[in-house]
């Protein structure tokens, strides 16, 4: 997913606020579903974050063009692990600014218990390999 850094994404120095990297990755994960004309939840089920590990490299700045890449690391019955990286798009080689590994689980909302990821979501997530 490509995006541009706007003023609202930055601090007073024009540097992207650290929490926005997580938002960009969340948008990219959601976009995978939206492009397939799906929503990543229903009235009784949703994905929730179980854990994440993030590494910040160089900062993104106001006006930068960014690309978020998402890759499947592991897909289990009730969880999925992903690698997400944010690159600054330049005229030379893209520059890695941020990376994280995230594990998300699929839960039944009324009981807040883990439940099997539906087959149509499994097929979609396999496409991230």
Rg of the chain over CA atoms, in angstroms? 16
Closest CA to 109 of 27, 42, 49: 42
Choosing from 9, 11, 42, 64, the catalytic residue is: 11
Report pLDDT for 33: 94
Q: Among this protein's residues, is 42 annotated catalytic?
A: no
Assigned CATH for 2-127: 3.10.129.10
In this structure, are residues 80 and 36 in contact, taking their beta carbons and an 8 Å threshold? no
Q: Give the integer Cα–Cα distance in Å for 84 and 98.
A: 8
What does each of the 129 residues of the chain score in pLDDT, given as a tens digit? 999 999 999 999 999 999 999 999 999 999 999 999 999 998 899 999 999 999 999 999 999 999 999 999 999 999 999 999 999 998 889 999 999 999 999 999 999 999 999 999 999 999 987
Report pLDDT for 42: 87
Q: Give the integer Cα–Cα distance in Å for 54 and 76.
A: 22
In this structure, are residues 52 and 104 in contact, taking their beta carbons and an 8 Å threshold? no
């Amino acid at each position: 997913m490509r995006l541009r850094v706007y003023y609202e994404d930055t601090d007073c120095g024009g540097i992207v606020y650290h929490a926005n990297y997580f938002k960009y990755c969340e948008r990219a994960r959601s976009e995978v579903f939206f492009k397939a004309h799906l929503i990543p939840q229903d009235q009784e089920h949703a994905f929730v974050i179980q854990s994440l590990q993030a590494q910040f490299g160089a900062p993104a700045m106001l006006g930068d063009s960014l690309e978020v890449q998402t890759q499947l690391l592991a897909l289990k019955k009730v969880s999925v692990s992903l690698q997400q990286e944010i690159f600054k798009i330049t005229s030379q080689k893209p520059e890695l600014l941020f990376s994280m590994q995230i594990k998300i689980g699929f839960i039944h909302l009324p009981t807040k218990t883990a439940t099997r990821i539906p087959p149509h979501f499994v097929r979609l997530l396999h496409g991230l390999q």
